[in-house]
Amino acid sequence: MLYYLKTYPTFDVLGFLFGLSAGHAHDHVTFFMHVLKRALADQDKLPKDTLETPEELSQLIDNYSDIIIDGVETPCVRPQNEAGQKEYYSGKKTSYRENSGYF
């Protein structure tokens, strides 16, 4: 379950890796997701899904000594009109993929 949550493979790939059919892999993920959520809730470790106010975030942060933030930048489709594009302009001339030499 933790491998699935970390990598989000397709059920075909997950089934192949763990010797299951895609359908059985889906069934296992569905079942064990409930088990994991129940276990985390019983231990009072289930993360809150959404925060309504900045104050809720501050209270949540105060409970932890270490915080990890996923700061991965993802490309987005920009509007075609010039005014709309300015809102999404990041200042970068090319994407990482174009500069990496792999693409």
Q: What residue ranges of the chain have pLDDT lower than 70?
A: 88, 90-103
Would you tell me the crossing angle of helices 11-18 and 22-42 to the nearest 10 degrees? 90
pLDDT tens profile 66-92: 878 777 777 777 788 887 777 767 666
What's the pLDDT score for residue 103? 47
Residue-range domain boundaries for the chain: 1-47
